A and B are shown apart, each in its own frame.
Chain A
Amino acid sequence: MRNPDALQGSLDLLVLKILSRRPQLHGYAIMSAIQDMSGDVLRAEEGSLYPALHRMEESGWIRAKWITKESGRRARLYELTGAGRKQLAAAESRWQAVTAAVNRVLRMA
């Protein structure tokens, strides 16, 4: 993320959206998914991802569990909760409204 401000507040939304499509991802996979899907335009700052995940876990939007991979290493997988699904819907529609408004301004000005 070259300009951190551009993504302010949107990291949560992206994480929730990705987890709604593809449950049971670990942190690195979530980060990669954001990067891939945005065609390398968006790149979550790795450092802020984990505190964000823990904060959302604390809010009850996602839950986590430890699994042991075939390699023997442990990984912490995240998935969406019911509350998270509701939060995603709310955040998504707010995002749409904001971007639509911003677009309107850009068009008319």
Chain B
Amino acid sequence: MSWWTRVANVLRPDRLSREIDEELQAHLEEAVEHGRDAGEARSALGSALRLREESLDVRLIVWLDSLRADAVFGWRQLTKNKVASAAAILSLALGIGACTSAFRLIDALLLRPLPVTHPEQLYTLARTGVDPERGFETFDGWAYPDFQLMRAAAKGEAELIAISYSARADVTYGSDQDMEKAYLQYVSGWMFSSFGLRPTLGRLLTESDDLKPHAHPYAVLSYDYWKHRFGEDPKVIGRTFRMGNDVYQIVGVGPQRFTGTEPGTIIDIFVPTMMHPGAVRPDWTWMRTLARVNPGVALEPLRARLDATSRAFERDRANGFRGMSQREIDEYLNHPLILEPAASGASGLQSDYRSSLAALGVLVALVLLIACANVANLMTAQAAARAREMALRVSIGAGRRRLVQLVLVESAWLAFLAAALGGLFAWWSAPVVVGMINPSDNPARLFLPADWRVVGFGLALTVGVMLLFGLAPALRASSVQPVSALKGGEDPHSRRRLMHGLIGVQTAFCFLVLFVAGLFVATFQRLSNRPTGFSADRLLTLDTVARRPQPQAYWDQTMRHLQEVPGVESGALASAPLMAGMDWNNMVSVNGAPPNGVIGHFMNVSPGWIETMKIPLIGGRDFRPSDTYPGAALVNQTFAKEYFNGENPVGKSFDMLFSGGSSAHFEVVGLVGDVCYRDVHEPMPPQAYYPFRSLDAKNASEIKDQQYATFIVRTAGAKPLAMASILRREVARGWPEFRVSNVRTQLEINQSHTVRERLLARLAFFFGVVALLLAGVGLYGVLDYSVLQRRREVAIRMALGAQAGDVARRVTADVFSMVIAGALAGLALGFASVRYIESLLYQVKPTDPRMLALPAFTILVAALVAALPPVIRAVRIDPALMLRAE
């Protein structure tokens, strides 16, 4: 008989038994036919039951059969206590699902190797150092000429690959009106062959596509883009698109699984690095550098060589700096190069969310552990109720192993039902969380496969969880002493000790989750409530481009046109919206003195901009239409404080120093309030605004033509986006050469800086509530059980005159001391873990008494609420009734 029929026999044991019985019956009838006495024949054959069992064991897989029997029995146990089972399964499902979901995100963003040959050989080059404004950080941007030198230096030991930061570019396959956005990345031509990638269609870029600046307008589409934008049309090869003033030809489609090297962004179009305008600029760091290190090459000598090469490059460049002391130059050069493993690529999303995801992962793991403790307590309580049954099983010869199996199978039911539900939860929730990472204009796009890595993690987690909550009760059940259990007198204290211990652990974890959640929520609140210095209310920003620079008169004319559109309250022009990522900074010199080391930040704005932004004018005047750059400047209060010793700067002048050695002279015409310039996390920097109207650098009597600007419009209606399409049209009506490439509300731009904090606050709050709920349910369950167990004792005490208060104190004392011990342990855990999440906090002190009081108070209230029903039940015990029943 094959193994398979034996497995099949497990599933139909009744039929098998019937067959064996029938054969034995046939034997007896045959014997009678041969003239033997029926009774004699039966006794000669022996016990039919024993024969059947013996034959059954041969004909099926014994352990599988016992497992089947236990599974059937376990299912009955679960359905007997439907509410408790459903609660256990749901809480476990939430825990398992959340953990699997967190793993899915962490794996997709941080762990999964790129689909290239030998991803483990990839490293990313970065510089570390202390930024005067942001503190210690690593910076992975490189200038192309520096890259070329380093590539030559590493020849033979490593291949260096340049990959630009991805950007959402405007491209068109037809006319200007058909402009669309695409994620575009400039990559070294040899990247594809170095990664061992093969085209799906056409060809990929090669080294010969990346030799001369601006000479190789070829593009490779990603498979994803080809599928979504072109419906996998094979005729796409040879088509052209225009970006800026360049026309690119599509030469191929990349392999299916390759979405670029930036987890969090799915690249649409790859073009050669030589097409980037910064390919010849030594002062423009616009790309990452990946190194594929040949096998067997020692990293440290390679790193040292690259470091020396890059340092020499920067030293040459620093020779051209003006106004920097030798000490400052040394400081500038002192940014050691490091090689970081990059098997899973390198992206901003990775560095932004690494610690956030880790923190969330720990939170959901704690929630899962709290759920496990609940289920363990539930199983222990049930095992207590079943002690007699277990004792009976032992006394009629069930092996200990069989009992462990019995209880574990029941746990497995819970765990796997929970895992199935949790799997659904993870399947749904991971994309939702990615969807919440949606900074304006650059939502995260993360490839989230559900393959063996995720499924394997889920399975391992389920089995681990099952052992965690099932093993202790199973071992306890199997070690039952039949004599004492059947007498009904097993020591109840040992069991309660386990349950109380778990309550303590639960409380500790719950405290930790609530504490961390409180920190995240407070961080988000402080950031959202932080004044920005301007009003983002009803403010719409229209980034506008022209194919070639346009005279200033047309920009002014269009601005005036927009101001007259019905529904527009006011309008102005700026080089970019505030806080949208633009950062123009330089050193400042007052009266020709050497710069004081404080970096100034700048922006070009039109007259009326400060009024539209509602930035207070503190002294002097706003720009007039006749003011020009260089020439006039508005400065903020911090600027006055840093460069003019806090004196009224109006009427004074300063120079802005360029790194090339030249400078520009300005007279301060007005003093304005401070605003958040780059990021809401940063302090408000010293800032100067210059007129948008600029003098031509070559011919100072001419006004420079401008190619890009942003119209800032405050609408009268409460919903600024409702006017987006009207304003888009009106801009083109103002001057037909203009095209709006991007419309955003200022609010959306502001909020994009707190996306991470909002995500953390929301998820941590959610899991904090879940943790509190689970811990409360657990506490209730344990108290309820212990009241049930001690009702005889309580009845006796009450009969002897104990007051309700005494009874309540007595039944809750143990549990509440565990809750307090747990909370203290949670506090210690919280303090120990705070340094891992400090980088995620903003102006929140973990030692702030309020941050500690909140979780402590919440837990106390939850514990009181959970304890109330069991205590009421204990107090209401009628001694006469209870003692008579016994």
Contact = CB atoms under 8 A, between A and B. Distances in A.
Contacts of B23: 27, 50, 76
Contacts of B41: 46
B31 A51 contact: no
B30 interface: yes
B43 to A, nearest CB: 10
Contact of B26 (A32, A57, A60, A75): A75
A74 to B, nearest CB: 6
B44 A58 contact: no
Contact of A58 (B27, B31, B51, B59): B59
Contacts of A47: 44-47, 50-51
Given A28-B31, A32-B34, A60-B1, A50 B51 contact: yes
Nearest to A63: B1
Contact of B1 (A26, A27, A58, A74): A58
A54 B29 contact: no
B22 interface: yes
Contacts of B45: 46-47
A58 B51 CA distance: 16
Contacts of B31: 28
Interface in A1-57: 26-29, 32, 45-47, 50-51, 54-55, 57
Contact of B22 (A45, A54, A60, A74): A74
A73 interface: yes
Contacts of A55: 58
Interface string B55-73: 1001100000000000000
Contacts of A54: 20, 55, 58-59
A92 B51 CA distance: 28
B46 A26 contact: no
B30 A58 contact: no
Nearest to A51: B54
A73 B26 CA distance: 8
B51 A57 contact: no
A27 B23 CA distance: 8
Contacts of A58: 1, 58-59
A42 to B, nearest CB: 15
Contact of A50 (B1, B24, B29, B34): B24
Nearest to A76: B23
A76 B26 contact: yes
A55 B534 CA distance: 89
Given A47-B46, A60-B1, A26 B30 contact: yes
Contacts of B58: 51, 54-55, 58
Interface in B1-46: 1, 19-20, 22-24, 26-27, 29-31, 34, 41, 44-46
Given A26-B26, A26-B30, A74-B26, A57 B54 contact: no
Given A54-B59, A55-B58, A58-B1, A28 B27 contact: yes
Contact of A51 (B27, B44, B55): B55
A45 B50 CA distance: 14
Interface string A52-79: 0011011010000010000001111000
Contacts of A66: 19
B30 A46 contact: no
Interface string A89-100: 000000000000
A73 B54 contact: no
A51 B48 CA distance: 11
B339 to A, nearest CB: 62
A29 B29 CA distance: 12
Contacts of A74: 22, 26
A46 B44 contact: yes
B154 to A, nearest CB: 66
The winner among B27, B29, B34 for most chain A CB atoms within 10 A is B27
Contacts of A76: 19, 22-23, 26
Given A46-B45, A47-B46, A60-B1, A28 B26 contact: yes
Contact of B51 (A28, A32, A51): A51
Most buried by B among A32, A45, A54, A74: A54
Contacts of A32: 34
A101 to B, nearest CB: 32
A93 B509 CA distance: 72
A51 B50 CA distance: 10
Nearest to B6: A58
Nearest to B60: A58
B448 to A, nearest CB: 49
Contact of A46 (B19, B29, B46, B54): B46
A27 B25 CA distance: 11
Contacts of B22: 74, 76
Contacts of B55: 50-51, 54
A28 B27 CA distance: 6
Contacts of B50: 47
A27 B51 contact: no
B27 A46 contact: yes
A77 to B, nearest CB: 11
B97 to A, nearest CB: 44
A75 B19 CA distance: 10
A32 to B, nearest CB: 7
B30 A28 contact: yes
A66 B18 CA distance: 13
A99 B50 CA distance: 33
A51 B56 CA distance: 9
Contacts of A27: 23, 26-27
Contacts of A46: 27, 41, 44-46
Contacts of A60: 1
A52 to B, nearest CB: 10
A46 B24 CA distance: 10
A14 B167 CA distance: 85
A45 to B, nearest CB: 8
Contacts of B24: 50
A45 B43 CA distance: 11
A73 B27 contact: no
B530 to A, nearest CB: 78
A73 B51 CA distance: 21
B832 to A, nearest CB: 60
Among A26, A50, A75, chain B packs the most CB atoms within 10 A around the CB of: A50
B29 A73 contact: yes
Contacts of A57: 1, 59
B606 to A, nearest CB: 93
Contacts of B47: 47
A80 B774 CA distance: 64
A63 B51 CA distance: 19
Question: Which one of A28, A66, A75 has the greatest number of beta carbons of chain B within 10 Å?
Answer: A28
A16 B45 CA distance: 21
Contacts of B20: 50, 54
Contacts of A51: 51, 54-55, 58
A67 to B, nearest CB: 11
A47 to B, nearest CB: 3
A29 B430 CA distance: 69
A54 B34 CA distance: 24
B787 to A, nearest CB: 54
Contacts of A28: 26-27, 30-31, 34
A87 B262 CA distance: 66
A65 to B, nearest CB: 12
A58 B34 CA distance: 29
Contacts of A73: 26, 29
A29 B26 CA distance: 11
Nearest to B26: A75
A51 B41 CA distance: 17
Interface of B: 1, 19-20, 22-24, 26-27, 29-31, 34, 41, 44-47, 50-51, 54-55, 58-59
5 contacts: A26-B30, A27-B26, A28-B34, A50-B20, A76-B19
Given A50-B27, A54-B55, 6 more contacts: A26-B27, A45-B46, A54-B59, A57-B59, A74-B22, A76-B22
Query: Across chains A and B, which 6 residue pairs bring their CB atoms closest together, nearest first?
Result: A47-B46, A28-B30, A51-B54, A54-B55, A54-B58, A46-B45
